[in-house]
Structures are given as C-alpha cells and as structure tokens.
Amino acid sequence: MQQVEGSEGTAVARIARGAVQTLSSAYAGRLVTWVAIVVLTRELPPEAFGQVALAATLLALVASLRSFGLHNALLHDYERVDELAPTHFLLNAALAALVTLGAILLAVLFVDGRYGRGVATALAVFAAFDLLRAMVLTAETQLRRDLEFGSLAAAHALALVVAAVAGIAVAYLEGGIWALILSHSVYGIGYVAVYSAMLWRRRSPLSLRLFDFRPDQARRLFGYGAWIWLGAMLQTFVLNFDRLVVNALLDLKTLGFYERAHIYAQLPTGVITHALTGILLTVFSRYQEDREQLGGAFRRALRLIMRSAVPLSILLAIEIPALTRLVLDESWMPMASILRWLLIFSLCRPLLEAVHALLRSIGDPRGSALFAGVQAAALLIAGPLLTRSHAIEGTAMAMNLAALVGTLVALRRSARFVDVPWVRSIAPPMVAAAAATAARMAAGPLLEGLSTPVSLVLGATLFVLSYLLTLAAIEGQALLDQLRTLRDRLS
C-alpha cells in the first residue's frame, strides 16, 4: 500500500512540476509571439489578417469532420496506450489525409473564385501542414500518458518562437500574407514543422508496429469518440461561426479587426487555457474512477484558472486603448473597442475549456456535446440577428451570450461528477477584480496627464496590487495553504 501511495505521490509531484514547466515555457514562447503579433499588425493591413482568419476558419470547420476524439479515447484507455498506439496512428493519419485532400480541393474549386487567391493559398498550405500536425497526435498522447509535460511545453515554446521569428523576417522582406501563413500559431508552417519534429524525436512513429492494426481496437476508439466527434464539430462551430458571419454580413477589413481583437484578448489567458488543458486531460483520465481525487483536481484547476484569467482579462480590457496607441496606431482603435465587447467571452472560455477536458476525460463526451450544442444554437440564432442590428459589436454580443449560456449548462453537467463549491471558487476573484477595477477607475483622472507608457505601468500596477490585496483579504489562509501544497509537491 505504501508503495502505491509513494508511486502516486511521485506522479502528483511530476504533474505539479509539469504544470509549472508548461506555464513558464508557454509564457516565454507567448512573449516572443506577442512581439511578433505587434510587429505583424504594424506591417500588414487588416485585410491580410481577414484573409488568413477566413482560411483558418474554413479549415477548422472542414477538419472538425475528422475530430472523432481518437486521442481522447486513447488517453482515456490509460493503461493500454502503447497497445492501441499503432491503430490510433493509422486511423488518425487516414482521416487527416482525407480532410487535407478535401480542403485543398475546396481551396482550388471554390475558395479561389469566391474569396480570392490569398485565402485559397492560405487554406491549401494550412491543410497540408494540418496533416502533419494530426500525425503527431499519437506521440503527443503517449508523452502525456508518461507525464512528460516539460518536453511538450519545450516543444510548444520553441515552435512558437521559430514561427514568430520566421513571420517577422518574411514581413520585413515584404512577403505579405506569407508572413501570417508562416507564423500562424495553430496551422502555420513554422509552428507545425518544429513541434512535430521535436515530438517525433521523443516518440518516433517508426517505433510503432504499424502492421498491428486491429479492427476491434478501431471500433473501440471510434465507439468512445462518436460523441466527442459531435461535440468537437459543435465546439468548432461555436468558435468560428462568428467569423463567417462577419465576413458574410460586413467585410474583410472588419474581419481583420475582429480577428486581431480575438488574438489580443486571448494573449493573457490563452496560455493558461492551452497549457493546462493538456495536463487536465491526463490528470482527469488518471483519477476518473476516484470521485474524491477527481473533484480535488478539478477544484484546484478551477481556482487557478479563475484567479488568473479574471484579473488578466479585465486588466487588458481596461488598458487596451492606451496599449493600442502605444504599440500600434490610431488606425487600429476599432480592434480595441471590439476586444472590450468580447470581455464576457474571454472570461468564460478558460472555464469552458476546463469542463470540456473533464467530461471528455472521464467518459462523458455526450455532456460535452450537450453544452456545445446549446451554445451553437444560441449563436446560430443570435449571431446574424445581432450583427445585422449592431454590426461588429452585435457579433461580440452574440459570442458573449453563447459563452454565458454554455457556462451555465457546463457547470450543471460537471456537478454530476465533481463536488465543487461554485460560489467559493468563482466569487473571490470576481469580487477582487471588481475592487481592482474601481481603484483603477478612481485613479484615472490622476493618470491622464502622464505619458502613455507611465500611465500604463502605474495603472496596471495599481490594478494588480488592489486585486492581490483584496483576494488575500478574502481568502488569505486558503491561498497560503495552496502555496504550501504546491511547494511540497515541487520539492
């Protein structure tokens, strides 16, 4: 028994260290990415971002047809990952090849004539590299099972840095839209090539017994992934339908502003969402049979997400006009306004991602599909109506509405599997952020006469200090206990 407990304690320590390594590596990579985003935004017109955003949206919708959740199914079968790996790799590669072929045909036969050569080129290139990205999912899942979060974080960070540097270089060489195709953080050439190469160094597909494809294992993976497939398609629809609406009802330049607003809105919290989701999938799969352990892991993740995402999102919404004037120029001010309208969506998304990870890991993909479906229905109705009546602000309102509705349904569904004191988990950071916002607003007249950089630094410092002091006053002892626990896990 002591050996089991010791082994589990070692695993928990590795998970904790992996989380710290993942967050630190991710933020280092995102710092370089942020510089690249600013440079590219200054060098390229909004229409270029609109073209690439439309291409990525179209690929995401087409690629959702192959999102059977095979990697979730593989990780869910925690003890049989290596046994199922050859079947998983071949299934994933075959489905990805079909999607890539379909996307390239779509680019050549339809997109080129309807939306222009730039969108078609970006879609075709993204589709080709999406095949490579899909084929590395088996290795990625094996590394997650082995708790090698540090290796995954390093690969992600290095890929982001290489993609950012390549994008900046091409932009200064006046490569136009190719700077965005190279530097895109999901489908881009630079990111996918480096990330795939690093993961295959750790888990080469050549080490798999690829002739060991077994139809019974394929049925097992597909059987688990059927509801994930539906949920993934609905989630992809929720995250991309707004861009289709903006392109259809407004124009490509407005889509460029809207896409940049989304990118900037996710800069502070996207790291948390991306970095933790992979870890949470592993942790929740590991503890899926133990409600107490599962609930504890979910509560700790929820507290971390809310206590970091809430203040970062609100602080960015407050300071984005000054930040836009400082690093860009007045021509990009429409982006700042859109970002503020997306605040509720920015606050809800990390929480929704955590619940998605929970439900997929413990074997309830139907629940994940349920709240994604509710969001999709709300967005399908509200998106076009509000965009027609309130232009781009209406699109943001529709995203906020879908996020709120999805959050309510998600929290109710997750209560079936974990015991979470929702008020104690969510209220303290919201109250602390409200107090920090009030302090920052009160200091606004005093900061107006200062230069923009000084005003930004002083305003952000005041907000952060006010938030931390208020949060410490509300739950000081609980925070100290959590820090001691983290220190013990890391030691």
Task: State which of 420, 440, 468 marks the end of a domain.
Answer: 420
CB 254 within 8 A of CB 390: no
Displacement of CA 234 from its chain's centroid (Å): 16
430 and 389 housed in the same domain: no
236 and 356 belong to one structural domain: yes
Q: How far apart are CA 348 and CA 59, in angstroms?
A: 25
352 and 465 both lie in a single domain = no
31, 163, 178, 210 from 257: Cα distances, Å: 21, 22, 19, 46
One domain for residues 377 and 448: no
Same domain, 332 and 451: no
Number of domains in the chain: 2
One domain for residues 369 and 316: yes
Whole domain around residue 202: which residue ranges?
Answer: 2-420
Q: Check residue 414 and give its pLDDT.
A: 87
Compute mean pLDDT per 10 residues along the chain, 491 residues long, and list them.
44 55 62 82 89 91 80 72 83 89 94 91 92 88 79 82 90 89 81 89 73 78 73 84 92 91 80 68 78 83 85 92 88 92 90 84 79 90 95 94 91 86 86 95 88 91 94 78 56 50
Token pair 């626990």: residue: 485
Q: At what angle do helices 343-361 and 365-414 cross, to 10 degrees?
A: 120
The residue from 420, 439, 454 where one domain ends is: 420
Q: Which two tokens stand for residue 440?
A: 């920052």
Q: Judge if 357 and 250 occupy the same domain.
A: yes
Instruction: Give the residue from 420, 442, 477 where a domain finishes.
Output: 420
Reduced to 3 states (helix: H, G, I; strand: E, B; else coil), residue 44 is coil
Same domain, 357 and 451: no
Q: 122 with 262, same domain?
A: yes
pLDDT at site 388:
95
Report pLDDT for 74.
Answer: 75
Helices (H) and strands (E) in the chain, counts: 19, 0
Check whether residue 19 and residue 39 sit in a common domain.
yes
Position 6 scores a pLDDT of 47
CA diameter of the chain: 71
**Together in a domain, 349 and 470:** no
In this structure, are 386 and 451 located in the same domain?
no
